[in-house]
């Protein structure tokens, strides 16, 4: 049956005329439904049009870049029409700085697409495995060459966090080595200030790059890259996307600006998300369902022989609880077995989690 969502995204939605508990998608703080973001989008559109219709800079876009720089404590930022373009842009811009790319085999499609366009040699390493990265670099990097390591920061289906600290350690053996993270799911959710995977591991310094999106924690749409003013002008100068692709629409610019501001000004939202994640992970552990103890709001339940998770998802649906059932290798980082992906929102209630846990206890 086709799923048609008939209400605004949130912890309770109406799907195909039934009100359900909703655990899918990526709107971890439900900011896509926040009236402040909606009003900001409305205002930006009524002042500047649905746009942009050109590549000229505008005051709302300037405000957004300032807001990103403030949130991430960087000098400047570059904004793109989608998060997918963030990885494409990063790989293209970095291509002048590396000899060979080493990429986590389960990285997002955008990471591979971005790297392929550079025409540089690409070697995959085992998912989340710094030892394999070290071996692959020792074996394949030409002598005197500069490596680029690329990976998702937080993987979208399993919620695994890339061991970015270990990757950075491996890279210290290679002067000029670069680490570049697609932090689509890490920004807003990881780190004490919600700055993402690097903040989670207290990683700072040169050679660290990341790109991300407003389409998840920040409640809007569009991609961005942060950094020094020099790095941002290098991006604009050195690749074709800023010239060849239209910028972000004005509504998304307005919403993203307020989304960043809300998450910066209201740390209680991140605290609520964390306590919700902890509550559900603990409840699952009590049921004997293994789940790593991380603050990532994506919880992945693996099947076991004799259990059909597709049927489990359908039975939950009959009880008006909706989780994602993803088939083997069904998305970029999916394992070769089926899984249930449960997205936790800051707006979910403990009653909802208790209901989900009670049903899962019977079904798993
Ligand atoms: C890891 C990862 N990177 C990039 C993207 C692309 O982001 P956007 O949807 O903003 O283009 C996604 C989208 O779901 C993602 O999961």
Could you say which architecture CATH assigns to the domain 12-23+267-363?
Answer: Alpha-Beta Complex (3.90)
Handedness of CA 215, 219, 223, 225 (dihedral sign): negative
Measured by CA distance, the residue closest to atom 7 of ligand 1 is 83
For β-strands 324-326 and 121-125, DSSP reports them as unpaired
Q: Pocket of ligand 1, candidates 25, 26, 27, 83: which has the most ligand atoms within 8 Å of its Cβ, to mutate? A: 83
pLDDT at 2: 82
Query: In CATH, what number does 35-265 get?
Result: 3.40.640.10
Q: What is the C-alpha to C-alpha distance for residues 107 and 158, in angstroms, rounded to an integer?
A: 12
Which ligand 1 atom is at minimum distance from the Cα of 214? Answer: 10
* Phi, psi at 315, each rounded to 5°: -65, -40
Measured by CA distance, the residue closest to atom 8 of ligand 1 is 83
pLDDT tens column, 70-123:
999 999 999 999 999 999 999 999 999 999 999 999 999 999 999 999 999 999
The answer for 350, left when phi > 0, alpha when psi is -120 to 50, beta otherwise, is alpha
Which ligand 1 atom is at minimum distance from the Cα of 215? Answer: 10
pLDDT at 54: 83
Calculated CA dihedral for residues 350, 355, 356, 358, nearest 10 degrees: 120
* Phi, psi at 84, each rounded to 5°: -55, -40
State the burial class of residue 166 (Cβ atoms within 10 Å of its Cβ: 0-12, 13-18, 19+).
Answer: middle
C-alpha of residue 52 to centroid of ligand 1, in Å: 22
pLDDT at 138: 98
pLDDT at 221: 97
* Phi, psi at 352, each rounded to 5°: -65, -45
Q: What is the C-alpha to C-alpha distance for residues 341 and 348, in angstroms, rounded to an integer?
A: 16
Which ligand 1 atom is at minimum distance from the Cα of 185? Answer: 1
How far out from the chain centre does Cα 119 lie? 25
Question: What is the residue extent of each domain of the chain?
Answer: 12-23+267-363, 35-265
Residues at CB less than 6 angstroms from ligand 1: 82-84, 108, 110, 152, 156, 182, 184-185, 213, 215, 223
Low-confidence stretches of the chain (pLDDT < 70) are 1
pLDDT at 233: 96
Q: What is the C-alpha to C-alpha distance for residues 121 and 101, in angstroms, rounded to an integer?
A: 6
- Reported as type and span, the H/E element at residue 101 is strand 100-104
pLDDT at 295: 98
Would you say 87 and 211 are in contact if contact means Cβ atoms under 8 Å apart? yes
Q: What is the C-alpha to C-alpha distance for residues 141 and 13, in angstroms, rounded to an integer?
A: 50
Q: What is the C-alpha to C-alpha distance for residues 269 and 345, in angstroms, rounded to an integer?
A: 10
């Amino acid at each position: 049956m086709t799923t048609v969502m008939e209400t605004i995204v949130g912890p309770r939605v109406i799907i195909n005329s039934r009100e359900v508990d909703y655990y899918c998608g990526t709107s971890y703080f439900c900011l896509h439904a926040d009236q402040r973001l909606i009003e900001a989008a409305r205002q930006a559109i009524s002042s500047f049009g649905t746009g942009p219709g050109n590549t000229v800079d505008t005051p709302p876009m300037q405000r957004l870049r300032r807001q990103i720089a403030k949130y991430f404590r960087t000098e400047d930022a570059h904004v793109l029409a989608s998060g997918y373009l963030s990885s494409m842009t990063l790989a293209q811009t970095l291509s002048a700085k590396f000899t060979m790319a080493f990429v986590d085999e389960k990285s997002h499609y955008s990471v591979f697409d971005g790297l392929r366009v550079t025409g540089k040699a690409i070697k995959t390493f085992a998912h989340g495995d710094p030892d394999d990265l070290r071996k692959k670099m020792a074996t394949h990097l030409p002598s005197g060459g500069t490596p680029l390591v690329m990976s998702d920061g937080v993987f979208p289906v399993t919620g695994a966090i890339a061991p970015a600290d270990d990757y950075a350690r491996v890279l210290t053996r290679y002067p000029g080595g670069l680490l570049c993270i697609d932090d689509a799911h890490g920004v807003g959710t990881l780190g004490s200030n919600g700055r993402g995977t690097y903040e989670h591991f207290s990683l700072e310094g040169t050679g660290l790059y990341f790109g991300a999106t407003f389409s998840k924690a920040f409640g809007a749409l569009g991609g961005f890259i942060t950094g020094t003013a020099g790095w941002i002008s290098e991006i604009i100068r050195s690749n074709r996307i800023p010239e060849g692709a239209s910028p972000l629409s004005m509504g998304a610019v307005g919403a993203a600006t307020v989304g960043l501001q809300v998450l910066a000004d209201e740390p209680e939202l991140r605290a609520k998300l964390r306590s919700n994640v902890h509550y559900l992970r603990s409840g699952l552990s009590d049921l004997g369902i293994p789940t790593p103890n991380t603050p990532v709001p994506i919880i992945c339940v693996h099947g076991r022989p004799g259990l059909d998770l597709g049927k489990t998802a359908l039975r939950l649906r009959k009880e008006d609880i909706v989780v994602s059932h993803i088939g083997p290798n069904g998305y970029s980082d999916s394992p070769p077995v089926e899984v249930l992906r449960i997205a936790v929102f800051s707006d979910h209630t403990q009653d909802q989690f208790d209901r989900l846990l009670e049903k899962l206890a019977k079904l798993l």
